[in-house]
Structure 1
């Protein structure tokens, strides 16, 4: 079989694209239809409500608490071990963070990546942030940095065809793995 690149007609297989068109409507639906992602009557973001819920960390899936930032497992993960690092107080943009909070945010991201590597031994780690609804932020009022383990060949047709993610472990197991591996 001749590839498009070999025939001079397109990108090499390494540059192939897997489109997930369902994601856009999902994000729009979540942002527009679910009150839990919008600030509550007291102006607290979803993440501030989780942080200050008074529930134990193993119920909220908070894996780390710093002085100005924390890390929590994504309740709607792309894959097992998907966590988010974020400031304690809602901020929509990086420019809204005090310098010490911005510095601690990056410390949390580095620790999160180290914990993911130790807990899952992935082939790679995605680290990313979507600033604003137009950039794909499902919760645009409270920035958060996604950190998630990835493996070569971990894409799956079921995400596109069935609008479903296949997760190989419950959040409670991911929480234990990540908290046990979190650098001290």
Structure 2
């Protein structure tokens, strides 16, 4: 199979590529508070509930939590359960908040199974910036639906790789930074 690569897209290697340059905003942390002790000001998870549900991508609101679509999903249907209260750590939640987070997680799983036919789920929290939390100052739990042969197996089964930036753009960025560190 012969392919012609777009300018700056690299050498054809029989993989289809899904270019997702819009994800660079997420990767670079644009608009995200930084550090484990990020305060409430500028916290997107504190701002989202101020919007209407459709505008804020809120699926449902609870008494102490809300469920929202992930703006940068790992898979279709990727949701997050987020406390209304700005807390960084699971141990900061009170008993009622822990119970509501669990109940909303269960309901999210049921809903995604019914609406989307998910085969399984990855559910979890990254506690602290060093553990991979994108917004470490405000606790949130991910609910990622999974299907047999989905994104986890893209290169093997689908012969497809997903890339967040065009190779030419990456090259230019690295070339400009080369020797400065």
Residue 32 of structure 2 aligns with which residue?
37
Asked whether the equivalents of residues 66 and 84 of structure 2 are also in contact (C-alpha less than 8 Å), the reply is: yes
What is the TM-score when the length of structure 1 is the normalising length?
A: 0.65
Residue 78 of structure 2 aligns with which residue?
82
Residue 49 of structure 2 aligns with which residue?
51
Are 1:125 and 2:121 matched, yes or no? yes
Instruction: Map 1:56-75 onto structure 2 (within 5 A).
Output: 56-75=52-71
Residue 147 of structure 1 aligns with which residue?
143
Give the 3 Å change call, closer, same or farther, for CA 29–120 of structure 1 in structure 2. closer
The answer to which structure, 1 or 2, has the higher relative contact order (CA under 8 A, 6+ apart) is 2
Separation (CA, whole Å) in 2 of partners of 1:48 and 1:125 = 26
Give the 3 Å change call, closer, same or farther, for CA 43–109 of structure 1 in structure 2. same
Residue 11 of structure 2 aligns with which residue?
none
Residue 163 of structure 2 aligns with which residue?
163
Separation (CA, whole Å) in 1 of partners of 2:40 and 2:92 = 20
Residue 94 of structure 1 aligns with which residue?
90
Shift of 1:56: 2.1
Instruction: Map 1:10-29 onto structure 2 (within 5 A).
Output: 29=27
Give the 3 Å change call, closer, same or farther, for CA 138–30 of structure 1 in structure 2. farther
Give the 3 Å change call, closer, same or farther, for CA 131–161 of structure 1 in structure 2. same
Structure with greater strand percent: 2
Asked whether the equivalents of residues 30 and 138 of structure 1 are also in contact (C-alpha less than 8 Å), the reply is: no
CA deviation map 1:152-179 (0-9, x unaligned): 1113139x94424xxxxxxxxxxxxxxx
Asked whether the equivalents of residues 125 and 149 of structure 1 are also in contact (C-alpha less than 8 Å), the reply is: yes
Q: Which has the larger radius of gyration?
A: 2
Structure 1: gaps (5+ residues): 1-25, 165-184
Asked whether the equivalents of residues 26 and 72 of structure 2 are also in contact (C-alpha less than 8 Å), the reply is: no
Residue 18 of structure 2 aligns with which residue?
none
Asked whether the equivalents of residues 58 and 66 of structure 2 are also in contact (C-alpha less than 8 Å), the reply is: yes
SS of match in other structure, 1:37: coil
Structure with greater helix percent: 1
Kindly report the root-mean-square deviation, in angstroms, between the aligned alpha carbons of the 2 structures.
2.7
CA deviation map 1:10-68 (0-9, x unaligned): xxxxxxxxxxxxxxxx799434xx2x21189862521111112xx32112110010110
